């Protein structure tokens, strides 16, 4: 079988823009299967996914993905750099991927390589660390962009949201010495986080708002028919929309009662903790809390990731780890053929069912799996109809 084209994704939810990208990949690489590494029940912006991972993976399989593998918690909700590194590490260790495709506002491969090389250079990294140490009022993304402009006299690719992730993918490929070839595809029609549709294509952010408001007629026009059916079914089962806001009392309780010393052991929370604790005394909703904490130094995404670390006990040292395993979330017949070849690879454990993770004899897999399934128990409280803490252990992949 031909080696696959890899895609790093969230499909939160799967929509016409995602289907368009998969079609473009299929047109360019007709003989290759498409394997997606998709976020778990938790997404990179520091939030619960709006519907669970298996429902999203089913929509992807019906929309053009041959194999959907999980990017496990908490790697799916770390900073852009760590998120990209974790996902790329899975694709690289599969040993069955030749290309990495991604949507972007810019599509010149040489530009991505140039920026990735500059960012990873020792001189730039040293200057960046010095600036971080000195500058206490500016957030990391803005500080890095400003330093890049000063040193190289041009607007960096990572000033564009999708291109920024593309740069991180390439940095990760370079770090691992991977032979996977990055292939940017033009992001068409709707822009990142844009709150309107363009000829049937809208951002996932806009769709999440529509789902929260139950605007089904608008949603129908923006997602493939099978994906729409899945959304309606999940809604009728009390499993959509999932929302972290349902755990607002828990977040406020933790912030109001935990001693400050506890914050220092959590991912992304050591610098954020005091500010969060102070505003938790006044805020009564999660959006209000995030808005109050937000500042030039602390972006909304960084704050949400910190609050998620608080809620799910993500340790400070997590960025030193990589995923020890992945789960099969969905597979077509073509994907199952790829899966058969992947299982022979000893560099990465690939499990078909969550319950199989718990039976592993590998201590690192057991440790990471236990942490992920505990977090799923927290996610279960975000459903409109709360689920049992062990709901995810009873799930299995969609085979198409």
Read off the pLDDT of each residue in 361-382 and give the average, rounded to a whole number: 97
Q: CB neighbours (10 Å) of residue 106?
A: 17
What is the pLDDT at residue 136?
80
What is the pLDDT at residue 189?
66
Is residue 290 predicted with pLDDT exceeding 90? Answer: yes
Cβ pair 314, 266 in contact under 8 A: yes
Read off the pLDDT of each residue in 308-326 and give the average, rounded to a whole number: 96
Q: CB neighbours (10 Å) of residue 152?
A: 13
Closest CA to 61 of 335, 286, 305: 335
Q: What percent of the chain has pLDDT over 70?
A: 98
CA 363 to chain centroid, in Å, comes to 25
Residue 344 CA to residue 323 CA, distance in Å, equals: 18
What is the pLDDT at residue 195?
67
What is the pLDDT at residue 137?
83
Is residue 87 predicted with pLDDT exceeding 80? Answer: yes
Closest CA to 103 of 162, 169, 53: 162
The string of pLDDT tens digits covering residues 227-256 is: 999 999 999 999 999 999 999 999 999 999
The string of pLDDT tens digits covering residues 171-210 is: 999 999 999 999 999 987 665 566 677 789 999 999 999 9
The model carries a pTM of 0.96
The string of pLDDT tens digits covering residues 111-162 is: 999 999 999 999 999 999 999 888 888 888 889 999 999 999 988 888 888 8
Cβ pair 330, 54 in contact under 8 A: yes
What is the pLDDT at residue 190?
62
Mean pLDDT for all residues in the chain: 94
Cβ pair 276, 19 in contact under 8 A: no
Q: What percent of the chain has pLDDT over 90?
A: 86
Give the β-pairing of 325-331 and 67-71. antiparallel
- Which domains does the chain carry? 4-106+183-243+321-399 (3.40.50), 244-318 (no CATH)
């Amino acid at each position: 079988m031909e080696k696959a084209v890899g895609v790093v994704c969230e499909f939160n939810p799967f929509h016409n823009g995602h289907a368009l990208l998969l079609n473009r990949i299929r047109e360019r690489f007709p003989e290759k299967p498409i394997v997606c590494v998709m976020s778990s029940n938790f997404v990179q912006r520091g939030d619960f996914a709006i519907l669970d991972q298996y429902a999203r993976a089913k929509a992807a399989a019906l929309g053009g993905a041959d194999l959907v593998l999980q990017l496990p918690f908490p790697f799916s909700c770390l900073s852009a750099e760590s998120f990209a590194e974790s996902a790329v590490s899975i694709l690289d260790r599969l040993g069955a991927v030749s290309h990495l495709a991604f949507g972007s506002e810019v599509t010149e491969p040489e530009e991505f390589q140039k920026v990735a090389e500059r960012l990873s250079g020792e001189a730039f990294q040293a200057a960046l660390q010095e600036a971080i140490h000195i500058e206490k009022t500016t957030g990391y993304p803005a500080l890095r962009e400003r330093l890049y402009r000063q040193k190289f006299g041009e607007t960096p690719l990572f000033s564009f949201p999708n291109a920024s992730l593309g740069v991180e993918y390439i940095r990760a490929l370079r770090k691992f010495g991977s032979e996977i070839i990055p292939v940017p595809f033009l992001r068409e029609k709707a822009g990142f986080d844009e709150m309107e549709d363009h000829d049937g294509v809208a951002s996932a952010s806009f769709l999440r708002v529509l789902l929260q408001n139950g605007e089904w007629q608008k949603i129908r026009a923006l997602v493939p028919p099978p994906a729409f059916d899945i959304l309606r079914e999940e809604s009728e089962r009390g499993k959509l929309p999932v929302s972290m806001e349902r755990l607002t009392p828990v977040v406020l309780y933790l912030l109001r009662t935990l001693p400050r010393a506890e914050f220092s052991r959590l991912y992304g929370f050591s610098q954020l903790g005091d500010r969060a604790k102070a505003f938790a005394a006044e805020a009564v909703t999660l959006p209000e809390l995030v808005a109050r904490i937000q500042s030039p130094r602390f972006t909304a995404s960084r704050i949400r990731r910190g609050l998620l670390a608080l809620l799910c006990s993500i340790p400070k040292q997590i960025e030193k780890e990589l995923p020890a395993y992945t789960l099969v979330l969905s597979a077509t017949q073509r994907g199952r053929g790829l899966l058969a070849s992947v299982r022979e690879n000893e560099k990465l454990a690939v499990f078909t069912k969550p319950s199989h993770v718990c039976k592993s004899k590998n201590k690192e897999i057991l440790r990471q799996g236990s942490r992920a399934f505990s977090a799923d128990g927290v996610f279960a409280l975000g459903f409109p109809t709360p689920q049992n803490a062990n709901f995810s252990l009873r799930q299995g992949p969609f085979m198409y």
